[in-house]
Structures are given as C-alpha cells and as structure tokens.
Amino acid sequence: MEYKPWPLLILAFFHFIEPISKITFYSIFFHVNPLDAVAIEYQMGSALHIFEFFFLFPIAGFAIFAIKKWSFPVFVIVETWVFITNIPYLNELYQSNQTWLLGFFVFFSILNIVVVSYLLLPAVRIAYLDPRIRWWEAKPRYSANIEAKVNNQATGTIKNISSSGIFITTDKNLLLEPEIDIEFTLKDPLSSKEFHIKSKALVVHKFIVNNLEGYGARYTELTASNQHLINSMIKHLEQANIDRRPPRRNILDFFQWITILLKTGKGLFPQNKLSAANKPGSP
C-alpha cells in the first residue's frame, strides 16, 4: 500500500462533492437554476442549516482523506449527526406524501449506513488507528549514484536519497546507531547547478547489496541552510522525473485497480502488510 487506498480516496471524493450533488438534484427536481437553489438554501436556512447542508459532508470527506487517528471519530460524529438530523425531515416527507424526495433521502441514508459499516470493518479501521501501516507517509526515495564522503575520509556511493535520509554502500564497516558525517554533491547534468550537502546522519539500517554493505542513514542536526538545500534538491529530482520508489501514481493506476477489483475482488480493503509480515512462516 504505497499510496492511500483507492476506496478511501473515492469515498473522500464523494463526500467532498456531496453539497454539489444535492444542489444538482434539487435544481433538476424543482426545475430551478443551480445558483438559485444555492441562494434559496442561504436565504431560507438558519446558520446551523447552512453548516449542515454545505459543510458537514466535506468535513467527513477531509477526515476520510487524511487517514489519521483523529479522522475516525470525526467521521463517525459527522455521519451520526447527519443520520439523526435527517429523521425529522424523512418523517415530514412521509407525512406530506413527497414520495420521490422521500425515496431519495431513504436511499441516501442507507448509503450512509453502508459507508459507516465499511469504515467500521477492522481491515479498514486499522488504517486510521495504526500509523505503522500507512506506508504512503514514507518519503519518496529517488535513485542516485552519488559519490560521498563518510566521516571525512571513507568513500561510499549513495544509491538512493530522500528528504529524510540516504542509502549508501561502502566497503567500510559502519556500526548501527552512532552518527556519521556525510558529505556529497548532487550535480544537475542539464545545468551548472549543484547541491552540496554536509550533515550528520544516524545509521539505522544495514543491508548487503551486490556484495557491498549498504546502510540506511537518517539526517540529524540539520541547519536551516542544509534543510533548504535538501528540500531544493528533492524538488529538483522530482521535476527531473528521476526514478523513485514508490513510482509516481497516474490515472492508469486507477483503471488497473478497477480491473483487478472486478476480476479478483481484491483491492476493496486497504492492504495490511504488517499483518502479512506477522503470519507464521513469513520472512
């Protein structure tokens, strides 16, 4: 799950556009101009009504989209609020025999219940409650082949780089946890621009890559100048379309997800790599 799951993005989108959907429905049903429908809501409704009509669902949509711990209670509160406030209106439509409008709001209420039930499922809810499975929050890592100095003498090669750290291969043995001094220069092949970075970094991972020991290191004690340089460097790498992990998302990814969902049924729930890694027999 390198990006936010498509089902949650879709749900967030439809919550964002819910006020527009209602205005469109009212304008068609009552044969009025959409702008006039908006004006009527503002003129006839109280401040609370205007808030409920135009802002409640976008707030829920933002909560869904953010996928944070606070998102879940905010979403549940909004959906409960909407359900409770709709009950008197449904009763009013029933008493006045407005069948079409009643049918629309009953369908809308059932749809809300389905959405709430979906987010209450453990496979979905965990994305909001457990930050360890939010893989999309990791900074993109850009492919590189940059010569670097380690501790002012040892030579290494940076294989990928992000705004938070580097992965470097070296024939020198580095211990985990202690800080190292790292110095390198990224040159733009299309211009004379250079990014010279000199910083301390904490060694946090160790790997073997092509018979060379590789280390993941996280920048520490960045000065404001270095932070600005690193941010500029990452912006440059993104604009230059340098290969990165995760790869850049595009509209074809959405259609691929739809195809897989229709053919296999997979993709309806966020993928939980953490649970898979904890299964017996997992590496």
Q: What is the CATH number of the domain that holds 185?
A: 2.40.10.220
Task: Pick the more confident residue, 246 or 12.
Answer: 12
Residue 1 maps to a domain: no
Which tens digits make up the pLDDT trace of 166-197? 999 887 788 777 788 999 998 876 677 888 88
Residues of the domain holding 79? 6-133
Which tens digits make up the pLDDT trace of 98-109? 888 888 888 888
pLDDT for 49: 87
pLDDT for 258: 93
Quote the number of domains for the chain: 2
154/180 same-domain check:
yes
pLDDT for 94: 85
Q: How far apart are CA 230 and CA 164, in angstroms?
A: 9
Model confidence at 152: pLDDT above 80: yes
22/120 same-domain check:
yes
Q: What are the structure tokens assigned to 234, written together?
A: 């990452």
Residue 258 maps to a domain: no
- With beta carbons less than 8 A apart as the criterion, state whether 217 and 201 touch: yes
111/192 same-domain check:
no
Q: How far apart are CA 136 and CA 117, in angstroms?
A: 24
Q: Which of 31-40, 190-199, 259-268 has the lowest mean pLDDT?
A: 190-199
Strands (E) located in the chain: 141-150, 154-161, 165-170, 179-187, 194-209, 212-220, 244-245
29/82 same-domain check:
yes
Q: What are the structure tokens assigned to 225, written together?
A: 């100048």
Q: How far apart are CA 35 and CA 280, in angstroms?
A: 59
Span 69-97, average pLDDT: 88
Its pTM stands at 0.77
User: Distance between the two ends of the chain, CA-based, in angstroms?
Assistant: 18
